[in-house]
Structure 1
Amino acid sequence: MVTTTVRFFIKNLLTFLLPMLIPLVVLSALSAFLTQQYVVNGIKSNNMNMLKQTKENIELLFNEQNALNLHIIASTTQFMNLKDMLNKPLPSAEDYQQLAVLKNFIDSPSIASSYIDSIYIYLNNDNQRYISSVTGGFIELGEDPDHLWFDSYQKHAHHEEIWTESRKIPRYNLNDEIEEADVITMYRHFKVSDDNTGVIVLNIKREYIERRLNDLATAKGQLLAVVDQQGSVIFHNNAKYELSSEEMQQVISSKNSAVTMQTSNKEALIHMIYSETYDWTFISVTPKQSLYTALTRLLRIGAVLMVMALLAALLLAFQLTKKNYSELQIIMSILNAAEKGKPLPLHRSKGNNVYSQIIRSLLQNFIEHNYMRVQLSESQYKTQAAQFAALQSQLNPHFLYNTLETIHWKAAGYTDGPNELTSIVEHLSDILRYSLDGQNGLVPLNVEIANTKSYIAIQKTRYGERFDIWWEYEEELEKYQVLKLIFQPLIENSLQHGLSRSDQKLAVKIKIQRYGNLLRLAVIDNGDGISEERMVELRTRLFSDTADANHIGLINTQRRIQLAYGHRSELCIKSRPGRGTLIDIKLPIS
């Protein structure tokens, strides 16, 4: 039973688990594959769009320098005069008026644009003077703490038109203390004439640009940076992910817009856009780990769902196995009862599924068939036992029959003809012959009546006029079959108990009637009757297996009727003390 239960549990578990797990695994794998493809393609597209947008925005910030350069080219005369003013020991009042016009030219964008820290314009002059958006007039190198820009200019003056540096500008605050401003400085050469050259210095606030970069929607740990050709980072967002100088140089040297590279930190997906205007490279570095955050979350959800599906399948399999085990116990109890010949145990199945209905139907048919076979075997056994007992009882009557024939001839020989004794012997011989013939079952009613009359004739010779018997029936009923020797035990019972009273003549009436498919045989007498207590005892013994010496004829008749007709027959006894007794038998007829 334990092995069967385990098999049921495994079968039920697979029945519930496979339909849940297979679609879930396929869906999870497909979702993971599609998500991976979508993430990679989506990140590539988003990063390239982000880099293009960043490139356009940053280039727009530095376009102020182009406007300054165009204005210088368009105002050649003014800037030629500016060089003269820069070379003079002391500018005149007229020079200061013209200087004010030029100052407005560089102060206007500095004031209007919050991202511009300062603008310098320098023309080569002997006094190393320049004009600045942070001062009111000319300023000489050394008067302002910021003078490193001039060194960079001299270093790049002969071979580069535009270059960029990341610098910290020293400045005096209101307390005459030096503070540093973090800026990105862009240098641009300009030429007023062949021998008049200079530089425009545009200082952009780093904080402003990096704040703009940080405002962009990036993946977790994604680095956005702008790098020059030397691999130096000009500015970047606040991402913790960093590349070394060698790694940055390797990225710049790559000609592909998207590469995957194993860095010192982690494997990363890198996208690039090159700016020809400023010779910059805009770079996006996305750690692969952050690319698959959604995929990892999806896999975790899938794992949780699988665990939940497993638990649900275990619970359902346990409940179904418990139910199947209960049904098996019921089946075993029914089989054991059928095997031992006991009545089928009552049970109620709570299930109403097809599987349970099939089991109940097959089981009910099998058990009922088996039970009926047992009952039939028992009935056949009882019939055979009764027949065997009848055969045994026939041995002595057969011998007696032959002896009676001898007595008949001897008695007739003594009187030279029939006499009362020969009449008794003839009736007794008829009764014995009727009992010993081969028909042990049903006989026509007229044959049974004739045999019963022979028995009554013998009893008349014995008791004389102490009783009267008369018949009441229609002749058309004589064709129906009845059980052999069915009247004799009933009449004998009436005579035995009715003739014990000597003060009244016994009257016995035998009434035969038909009611539909039933034939009613009634034996009615006016004897002493039966008391109520004795009646209860008689009815109890009549339908039990115990024998009763006082009513053996009635008990035998009841059992023979049950064996021949089953539940379709009925034997009923009614009696009133001092009034008489009625024995009523109903037999089915066809």
Structure 2
Amino acid sequence: MKNESILEGLERKYHSTTIRFFIRSLLVNSLLMLIPLLLIGLYSIFRTTNESTSEAEKKASVILNQADDILETFYTHVDNAYLFFASNPRVTLQLKKAFDEKSLTLDSIKSVENISLNFQNLIYTDGYLRNIYVYYKNDYSRIFVPLSSKLISFPPDKEKDVLNSYGHAGEEDVWMEFSDDPLLYTEYRTPSLLVYRKLYRRTTDIQNGLVIFSFSADKLKSELSGLLEFPDQKLFLMDASSRLVWPSTEEFPEDDLLDLAAQMASLPATSPADAVNLDYKSYTATYLPSPRSYGFSYLLLTPRNEIYRTAISLTSMYIIITLAAIAVACMIAFFKTRHDYKYLDKIISVFSTPDTAVNQIRQPKKGSSSPFEYILFNVIRLFIEQDYLKMQDSEKAAKLQLSKMQALQHQINPHFLHNTLNNIYWESVKLTGSENRCSQMISYLSAIMRYSLSDPQDNVKIQEEINYLKKYLEIMKLRYTDRFDVDFSLAPDCSIYPVKKMILQPLVENAIYHGIKEKKEKGLISISIHRKKDRIYFTIYDTGRGIPADQLASIRAGLKETSRNSNQHIGLANTNSRLVLSYGEGSVLHMNSRCGKFTVIWFSIPVPDQT
């Protein structure tokens, strides 16, 4: 009756338990896949974003400095012209005389022609410069044009423009403006950049003239546009009076651009870039005041979606991979639950009719991958040998069976995880074109998972254990950059002897987490393996923070106990238990430490008879 009640209880809970195990298996599989995926993904995206930001700032600085170099040549021409007139008062007097004559004398004509030669070579050799004009206030509407080697009269409306420029208000000695109309009607109607420079009487602050340089706006626009890296990147030029000189734009309000330039000018020199939103779009604004004293400045707007295109693509890829991993985890949980509960149905059916169970179950074939077949066969054999014991044992077996199936629900398919990590490794390499820190970490993690998911009771050669330990330490060194160095000392005659798998990793992990990580200075982890007589000695030494004497005594006492209730240093307790169970009491862990100086752990195992 008792057995029948147990079976009825199992059947009642079957469906609810199936759903519960499916959800638990799904969560476990998802977390085991998503945690490393998310960590690697977030690190990759964060690093790519920082690199993109840094690279964009460098490129923006180069663009602005190259633009300033182009305009620097314009300023140089203007300054040279000013120095020419300032250092040659005779030239100024000759030109003033020619401007004031109603009809030019032969001497004035020759003087104008000689002065023109000084400017014509500059006009012919400079690709940007189209013409130069010199104006002194006169009653005959004249302006000096060196390219034609004469004084030319211009219409009244143009004279008004020149007079307005001559009387330009403010403290500016140099200013510029873009114009679609030529200064004289005899010139071609093409856009030009006009740079004005006031001329003064020698040794005084009284203005007596004006020199105007006309540069090709189309060539300047083409040259500046060639500096830009992205299609929607914008470059603006402001003068000392906070006016937008170039280019005129309908895409952004001029007041918004000038306010932005003023805001950028107030930032520290160490923060030349800032994120802004204009016309519902996000840009990175970079500002550069011209090194010249004329007060000109440059503003560069770079679309943020262009700067972070690689990071956005990387984020999209990781989202797709994450969704795919969740879908695969659902499939694994579904098929695993269905597969495991197929055997549970069979067990319930067999327990319901134990007398005929021998006809239902056959001895499993050698090499069968399912543990349920072996369990079921042995349970039925016990039922046949002893009826009473068989019934009681079946109750225990049912509980044990459920417990084992619960454990199996939490296992991860190592082949799937290994393949997934390899896929992520190649995707990471593909993004950067070569191996990087992210792909190295994935490669090491894949090797460690493949090594650790097999039976931990297996024996491996000491050299294999060391190779695995090196991969683990490479990951730790990537995580704790420049926090510690590692030194391996392996006697050549010890490398071929077998040792329990993963016997050293918990000790090294303990050295990192409880020693090196807690100390600000860079530390050292030394791993030494040597043979002395009939035993092999393993020593792990670290220069971490050390352990206080009272805590060290507590740990030593805890290693002597058969069980531990605390989670502190549980890796040491487990390793100590494995050593005692595998090699005897002579292989217990020994530990010594000095607070703030070092910690050393060592143990020894007997030399095996066969390698």
Task: State how 1:34-433 maps to structure 2 within 5 Å.
Answer: 34-133=47-146, 135-142=148-155, 146-147=158-159, 149-156=161-168, 159-170=171-182, 180-191=189-200, 193=202, 197-219=208-230, 221-236=232-247, 242-245=252-255, 247-249=257-259, 251-252=261-262, 254-256=265-267, 257-261=272-276, 263=278, 265-266=280-281, 268-275=283-290, 276-288=292-304, 290-336=306-352, 338-340=354-356, 342-346=358-362, 353=369, 356-357=370-371, 359-374=372-387
Residue deviations 1:185-216 (CA, integer Å, cap 9, x gap): 11111235468821110122222222222222
Residue deviations 1:87-125 (CA, integer Å, cap 9, x gap): 223334444333222222222222222222321112333
Q: Is the 8 A contact 2:33 2:325 kept in 1?
A: yes
Cα distance change on mapping 1:158 and 1:331 into 2, 3 Å: closer
Give the C-alpha shift of residue 349 in structure 1: 7.6
Find the aligned partners of 1:201 and 1:259 in 2 and give their Cα distance. Answer: 36
Aligned length: 369
Q: What stretches of structure 1 of length at least 5 have no aligned partner?
A: 378-590
Find the aligned partners of 1:2 and 1:351 in 2 and give their Cα distance. Answer: 31
Partner of 1:523: none
Residue type of the alignment partner of 1:211: S
Q: Is the 8 A contact 1:36 1:292 kept in 2?
A: yes
Cα distance change on mapping 1:341 and 1:94 into 2, 3 Å: closer
Select between 82-91 and 307-316 the one with higher mean Cα deviation: 82-91
Q: CA RMSD in A?
A: 3.6
Q: Is the 8 A contact 1:146 1:169 kept in 2?
A: no
Give the C-alpha shift of residue 227 in structure 1: 0.7
Q: Is the 8 A contact 2:119 2:147 kept in 1?
A: no
Task: State how 1:532-543 maps to structure 2 within 5 Å.
Answer: none
Residue type of the alignment partner of 2:121: S
Give the C-alpha shift of residue 231 in structure 1: 3.0
Q: Is the 8 A contact 1:231 1:249 kept in 2?
A: no
Partner of 2:34: 21
The alignment's TM-score, normalised by the length of structure 2, stands at 0.53
Find the aligned partners of 2:358 and 2:259 in 1 and give their Cα distance. Answer: 96
Q: What stretches of structure 2 of length at least 5 have no aligned partner?
A: 1-13, 391-611
Q: Is the 8 A contact 1:163 1:188 kept in 2?
A: yes
Residue type of the alignment partner of 2:176: T
Find the aligned partners of 1:351 and 1:220 in 2 and give their Cα distance. Answer: 65
Give the C-alpha shift of residue 376 in structure 1: 11
Give the C-alpha shift of residue 139 in structure 1: 0.3
Find the aligned partners of 1:94 and 1:215 in 2 and give their Cα distance. Answer: 48
Residue type of the alignment partner of 1:318: F
Q: Is the 8 A contact 2:236 2:246 kept in 1?
A: yes
Cα distance change on mapping 1:109 and 1:5 into 2, 3 Å: same
Residue deviations 1:207-254 (CA, integer Å, cap 9, x gap): 22222222224456332211123332212498x852432551453264
Residue type of the alignment partner of 1:198: G
Q: Is the 8 A contact 1:184 1:203 kept in 2?
A: yes
Cα distance change on mapping 1:128 and 1:370 into 2, 3 Å: same
Find the aligned partners of 2:288 and 2:274 in 1 and give their Cα distance. Answer: 12
Partner of 2:438: none
Percent identity over the alignment is 19
Give the C-alpha shift of residue 305 in structure 1: 0.9
Cα distance change on mapping 1:148 and 1:260 into 2, 3 Å: farther
* 3-state SS of paired residue (2:182): strand
Structure with max Cα Rg: 1
Give the C-alpha shift of residue 78 in structure 1: 3.0
Cα distance change on mapping 1:97 and 1:172 into 2, 3 Å: closer
The alignment's TM-score, normalised by the length of structure 1, stands at 0.55
